[in-house]
Structure formats: structure tokens, C-alpha cells
Chain A
């Protein structure tokens, strides 16, 4: 078997979880939708991560009760192998969807803000190659990369915000609860579809993270970082631009220094920041692709993960390149459908697996 799983420790897995959740929280916010009716992303994004974390805790609880080491073992015991195969393949597809959305965002950001005169295809391929290499190298490489870059990325990220403080103004956050408390709550739950697969993936890969206890510790610490960083990022964006301006910006993080009145050395740090974010983005996308490949191979009995990863990358690349073709409208229509229904599907899968698993455990104990 060549699954390239390897073994990583608590520090590596914490860094990996923190990077993946933060990147997902910050870079998948669709401005036209998120800021259409006020700005409350500094509440909804952290809340969505917390909802995902609660789902993780539920899965972990069920796994501990049944004494299983991984999430797919839990699914096998709870719903049987056939239905478990369907559920896990849906999970794999949702991980690939996250990877696709991030790939699309980064390719568009770099093409629109940095390499404006280059072809979109060249820019996209420039990102695909590191992602493909990293996912082929495997989980241990991913973890160690995350540990090497983790702290540096966090510091550089926050320094970028410090340079923009002159342009902050509290009045831009008002009205404070943008879309209203009810819509904020609904939005938080609906958008957690991005984070639920990210939280379940470590439970699938737990044998590479020295067991469920290490996974729990890493995810808790990683989630705290991700919640704080997402909150700070969205707050900084909200303090720099009003919601009326934000809804017209594809990626406001790249324009933080644009509102500064006095030009200084930090005028270009937005553009430099893109390359820092790209490193984090490559790690997150490679993680999603690897995890999707791992689940697919486990369920289909494929013994070598590498052809699977290559196939997934070819599919994702084709879809990303379709962004600049006549298929744009179809592509975004499908994305909208997936985004509006994914939360229900994810919740159904998780609840079915965990509750049935716990019920079965209860019956087994009664028989004993």
C-alpha cells in the first residue's frame, strides 16, 4: 500500500489544522453575497468555524464510545460498508469542492491583482504544480511544511494588518448586526458546510496523527487560532471599508492599504501579502486534495494514492480553467447549488453516522 500517510506529531497537526481552517475561513468569503446586506462576516465566519467544531466534537464522542480509531471505521460500524462508502465518497467530494474553490480564488486573485498581463491559464498552472507536488509527497510532508511555515505566516499576516491601522474607523462597522441577528445565525450554520469536511478529515487521517487524543488536542488549539484569525481578518476588513464598497470588491484583503491617505513604505504590502497567503493556500489546497484522495482510496480499495491525486488535480484544473470559458455561467450555477445545499447534506451524514453508531453501541451493551 502506498498511501504516503506517514506520522506527524501534535505541533505539525495543530499548525496544519490552523492553516487549513484559517485559509478556508478567510479566502472563501464571496464578497457579493457576504456584504450584500451589511457586514457581519466578523461574526458569521468565526461562528461557522465553531459550528464545525461542535460537529467534530460530536463525531469524536461517538468514536470514543465505539472505541474506533478513525471516522470511516465509525461509519462502517454505524451504517454498514455500502452506505458508509457512499457517505465517505460524498465527504471526499466536499473536500475536493473546498480545494476547487480555493484554487479558483487564488488563481483569480493573482491574475487580477498581480500578473494582470499574463494569461489566466499560465497563472493557474503556476499554482497547480506546487499543489500537485505537495499532495503527492503526502501527509507527513504537509504536516512538516505547515509546522515550518505556521508561525512565520501568522506573524507576517498580522504585520500586514498593523500597516493598515491608519485607515481604520469604527463607524464603518455600523450597522453592527448587518443582516439582522436571525440571518446572521442562519448564515453561520449554512456556511459551516466549508468547515465540517475540514474538521472530519483529521478524524479520517488520525492514524497519521498518533491517534484520536492527539487529533482532539490539535483540532482544539488549531480551531482557536482559526477563529481568532478569521475574526481579526474580517474585523480589519470591516474597519477599512464600508459594506457598500465591500460588496463590489472581489478580494478586499488585497486593498487594505488603498484607503490610506498618506503614502508610506507600506503602500505595496498588500501585493506582497498575496504571496504569503499563497503559501498558506497551497498547503490548505494540497491537504484537501490529499485527504480526498485518501478517503477515495480507502473506500475503493485502491492501493496507491498517487494516481488518484493526479486524477483529482486534473479534474480540478479543468474546472478552474473553465472559469475563463463559455462554461463560466454553468460552473457558477453548479457552485451556487452546492453551496446552498451542502450544509444539510453534511449534517445528515454526520448525524446519521454518529447517532446510528451510538444507538448500535447502546444495543450492543444491552446484549452484553
Chain B
């Protein structure tokens, strides 16, 4: 018994002592929160690193604030070499949470070049989120906050919360690699934008996804970037993103404005009722998807939509959603992006790898036809709706 206790003590003490060797204080590190990748002028790429700013200990306004450093290089290591010499502290990639590709880089397959970076040697997590910026990534990063103090906190919160609500797709590096290598689903990345001069009253001002506004950061996340393997093929806005996520089975909540045949306007809040059901018919190359939703009619002056839902409006709403889903499915197919994951469904029909690989799904992808069946239940139909 004594020997066992002695042995256990020696073994457990070995775990403790190793961390004291060559210790580095946390304050000595410069943590890189985000990496932006744009086309370079002299070199292949221009890498922008958002590095955490260390402020006064009790200054809560400095939480999440950072500074941007950028340098050109053919690889990330070249750029880091340059930036390292001008940054105080040892650069540390363990807290890198987003990588933003500029649109040109995304279209030319820069994501594939980046995938060759050794995450292990940089100690970067493979769960780092990937985003695509409309325009330049550096521009997007610069507009995350005030001129000299960028703040990534809002972006991180938006990504997590909006993904949980089913408003934005989120793809990490490990998921994108898996999707591209597996060939059964093409990745969909979050799209980020900059609303330059989005101030009320300015002529020809760009605005936030078609809406004029004032206040807040110029940088925002909305919409999706569609990929065919490592190459970006197109982008869609936030409204189409909602339908794309519905077709992918990742939709949680959303809204649609509904104008009835008799010119009544209502805002329908829609949410997921049940998981999407998918079936593939290999013989006729048909993919059948059943989408089940709940709907709440929020604004309806006379409450007539709620009362006559079953007779008049249910089929209209279902048809409207179905048409939108089919439009999105046709759009992604035209771009040769398997954003709906038809490859995953088809792969379940094969019992061994040889047969699946011989089939070469990429060759047959466009032969498949998607059919949507939409069912919308009124969530509050049993509640008395008259307010007066």
C-alpha cells in the first residue's frame, strides 16, 4: 500500500513540475484575435492580424479591443515574421477565433492555400470560424469599432447568437476541410460587409443590405458565401440565407412579409416545427425534402388572417415558401454548389467506399432534382386573438 501511494505521488508530481520549465507570463503574449487575407500587391497575399490591445486592468471599455497589423507575404509565416518584429510581446494564435477571406481571395481558391498552413505549429484551433468579406477583409476589420480601437466582441457574439437562431451559417476550418475533402457537401461561409457612408441623407450612400440607417459599426455580418469546394461561386443576401438554411435543415427562426391575394399585409414569424426530412430516389434522381414550420401572425389589423388561416391563407403561405426554397435550390445548383448536402443523402445509398467513389457524385450532381414539401402550422390558432 505504501509503495502504491509513493508511486502515485511521484507520478502525479511529474504532471505538475513540467509547466514550470521555460514559463511565459500571459501579459507577455500578443494574442491574435482575427486574421484577414486579401490579394497582395508585391506578394501573393496581404495578411492582416487583429492583435489584442492590453489596456488598464479595470478599464472595461478595452475589453475585446485590438489593433490591426498587416504585411504581405506568400504564406502566413512570411507575414508573421515581419509583423512579429513590430509587435510588443510574443505573438500567440491560440485565441484566434475568425479568419476573414477577402472576396477576390475567396473566388480564386485562397482558402485552399490557407488550408496548407500548419495549425499545429501556430497552435491555432481548427475550430476557427471562416468568413468572407464583400471587398477587402482589411476594410471589414478596420470598421469593427472606432478608428483606432477595433473590437471583435460584437462580431463574435453575432456569429454565435445568429447561428443559434438559424439566421447565419457558421463554418469552422475543420468543417470546411471535411466538406471539401469528403465531397458530399459544399461549404457555406458567413458573409461580412462594410456599409460605407451609411448615413441618412447622404446621396448615393451605400447602406446596410439595402436599408439606410444611422449609428453603429460600419462592419456587419449578413448573408452567405456559396462555395464549390475551395472556390467561392456566389453570394446571397440575408433573406435568401434564411431559405438556404431552411433547405439545409439549419433553420430555427425567421420572418417573412406576406401580402395576401386580397392585399392584406402581415408579418409572419416562422420557426422550425420539426427536423427536415430528406429522401433520395436514386432511380429517378429525385431528392424529396419535407420542411415543417410553425408560424405566428404578428401584425394583422383585423385578425382575419388568423381566423381564416386554414381556409384561405395556409396553402398560399406554404406555396410561397416552397417557391422560394425551389428558387434557392436552383440557384445553388446552377453555381455547381452542393450547399444543400445532396451528396450526403446519396452516399447513404452505397454500402462500400469503392462503389461510392466509382459513382463520382460530382459528375452526377446536376442530374438530381429537388422537390420541397412545406407544411406550416399556425402556432397560436387556438388562442383568442381579438384584442378589443
- A and B associate in one complex: yes
Given A126-B14, A261-B170, residue A267 in contact with residue B125 (CB < 8 A): yes
Quick check: A112 and B353 within 8 Å, CB to CB? Answer: no
Please give, as numbers and ranges, the residues of chain A lying within 8 Å of B354 by CB-CB distance: 37, 180
B364 in the interface (beta carbon within 8 A): no
> Looking at the complex, which of A78-86, A237-245, A328-336 is the stretch in contact with chain B?
A237-245
For the A-B complex, the count of residue pairs with Cβ-Cβ distances under 8 Å equals 101
Quick check: A262 and B163 within 8 Å, CB to CB? Answer: yes
Quick check: A275 and B15 within 8 Å, CB to CB? Answer: yes
Quick check: B177 and A178 within 8 Å, CB to CB? Answer: no
A361 in the interface (beta carbon within 8 A): no
> Looking at the complex, which of B223-231, B287-295, B312-320, B342-350 is the stretch in contact with chain A?
B342-350
A113 and B174 alpha carbons, distance in the complex (Å): 16
> Looking at the complex, which of B3-11, B39-47, B300-308 is the stretch in contact with chain A?
B3-11
A126 and B14 alpha carbons, distance in the complex (Å): 8
A259 and B129 alpha carbons, distance in the complex (Å): 11
Quick check: B347 and A171 within 8 Å, CB to CB? Answer: yes
Query: Across the two chains, which residue of chain B brings its CB closest to A178?
Result: B353
Given A126-B14, A244-B182, A258-B126, residue A174 in contact with residue B350 (CB < 8 A): yes
Please give, as numbers and ranges, the residues of chain B lying within 8 Å of A130 by CB-CB distance: 7, 10-11, 14
A301 and B183 alpha carbons, distance in the complex (Å): 60
A227 and B353 alpha carbons, distance in the complex (Å): 25
**What is the distance, in angstroms, from A300's C-beta to the closest C-beta of chain B?**
27
Count A-side interface residues using an 8 Å CB cutoff: 42
B interface footprint on A140-157 (CB within 8 Å = 1, 0 otherwise): 010011001000000000
Please give, as numbers and ranges, the residues of chain A lying within 8 Å of B351 by CB-CB distance: 175-177
B60 in the interface (beta carbon within 8 A): no
Q: Tell me the A22-61 residues at the B interface (CB within 8 Å).
A: 37-38
Contact among B7, B170, B184, B347 for A134, CB-based, below 8 A: B7
Quick check: B353 and A38 within 8 Å, CB to CB? Answer: yes
Given A115-B18, A261-B163, A267-B125, residue A133 in contact with residue B10 (CB < 8 A): yes
A262 and B250 alpha carbons, distance in the complex (Å): 14
**What is the distance, in angstroms, from A334's C-beta to the closest C-beta of chain B?**
28
Quick check: B4 and A263 within 8 Å, CB to CB? Answer: no
Quick check: B352 and A175 within 8 Å, CB to CB? Answer: yes
B interface footprint on A3-20 (CB within 8 Å = 1, 0 otherwise): 000000000000000000
Please give, as numbers and ranges, the residues of chain A lying within 8 Å of B160 by CB-CB distance: 262-263
Please give, as numbers and ranges, the residues of chain A lying within 8 Å of B183 by CB-CB distance: 244
B81 in the interface (beta carbon within 8 A): no
Q: Tell me the A255-284 residues at the B interface (CB within 8 Å).
A: 255, 257-263, 267, 275, 282
Quick check: A179 and B3 within 8 Å, CB to CB? Answer: no
Count B-side interface residues using an 8 Å CB cutoff: 41
A126 and B347 alpha carbons, distance in the complex (Å): 45
**What is the distance, in angstroms, from B103's C-beta to the closest C-beta of chain A?**
23
B74 in the interface (beta carbon within 8 A): no
Quick check: B120 and A112 within 8 Å, CB to CB? Answer: yes
**What is the distance, in angstroms, from B1's C-beta to the closest C-beta of chain A?**
9
Quick check: A263 and B127 within 8 Å, CB to CB? Answer: yes
A116 in the interface (beta carbon within 8 A): yes
Chain A binding surface SS class: helix
**What is the distance, in angstroms, from A181's C-beta to the closest C-beta of chain B?**
8
Contact among A115, A178, A244 for B181, CB-based, below 8 A: A244
Query: Across the two chains, which residue of chain A brings its CB closest to B353?
Result: A38
Please give, as numbers and ranges, the residues of chain B lying within 8 Å of A312 by CB-CB distance: none
A267 and B97 alpha carbons, distance in the complex (Å): 13
B80 in the interface (beta carbon within 8 A): no
Given A242-B181, A259-B175, residue A179 in contact with residue B353 (CB < 8 A): yes
Quick check: B348 and A174 within 8 Å, CB to CB? Answer: yes
Quick check: A38 and B181 within 8 Å, CB to CB? Answer: no
Taking each of A37, A145, A263, which has the highest tally of chain B beta carbons within 10 Å of its own beta carbon? Answer: A263
Query: Across the two chains, which residue of chain A brings its CB closest to B171?
Result: A261
Quick check: A116 and B120 within 8 Å, CB to CB? Answer: yes
**What is the distance, in angstroms, from A246's C-beta to the closest C-beta of chain B?**
10
Query: Across the two chains, which residue of chain A brings its CB closest to B180?
Result: A244
Contact among A38, A171, A248 for B348, CB-based, below 8 A: A171
Quick check: B172 and A261 within 8 Å, CB to CB? Answer: yes
**What is the distance, in angstroms, from B251's C-beta to the closest C-beta of chain A?**
15
Query: Across the two chains, which residue of chain A brings its CB closest to B97?
Result: A263
A133 and B18 alpha carbons, distance in the complex (Å): 19
B356 in the interface (beta carbon within 8 A): yes
A180 and B358 alpha carbons, distance in the complex (Å): 14
**What is the distance, in angstroms, from A12's C-beta to the closest C-beta of chain B?**
12
A289 and B14 alpha carbons, distance in the complex (Å): 22
Given A245-B181, A258-B174, A259-B174, residue A141 in contact with residue B352 (CB < 8 A): no
A168 in the interface (beta carbon within 8 A): no
A interface footprint on B116-130 (CB within 8 Å = 1, 0 otherwise): 000011010111000
Please give, as numbers and ranges, the residues of chain A lying within 8 Å of B348 by CB-CB distance: 171, 174
**What is the distance, in angstroms, from B106's C-beta to the closest C-beta of chain A?**
20
A interface footprint on B155-194 (CB within 8 Å = 1, 0 otherwise): 0000010011000001010110110011110000000000
Please give, as numbers and ranges, the residues of chain B lying within 8 Å of A243 by CB-CB distance: 353
Chain A contact residues, CB within 8 Å of chain B: 37-38, 112-113, 115-117, 126, 129-130, 133-134, 137, 141, 144-145, 148, 171, 174-180, 241-245, 248, 255, 257-263, 267, 275, 282
Known: A177-B352, A244-B181. 13 other contacts (CB 8 A): A129-B14, A130-B14, A134-B7, A137-B3, A171-B348, A174-B347, A174-B350, A180-B354, A242-B178, A244-B178, A248-B181, A255-B174, A258-B125
What are 10 pairs between A and B in contact, CB < 8 Å?
A134-B7, A174-B344, A175-B351, A175-B356, A255-B126, A258-B126, A258-B174, A259-B175, A267-B125, A267-B127
Interchain residue pairs A-B with the least CB separation, the first 5: A38-B353, A244-B181, A242-B182, A171-B344, A258-B126
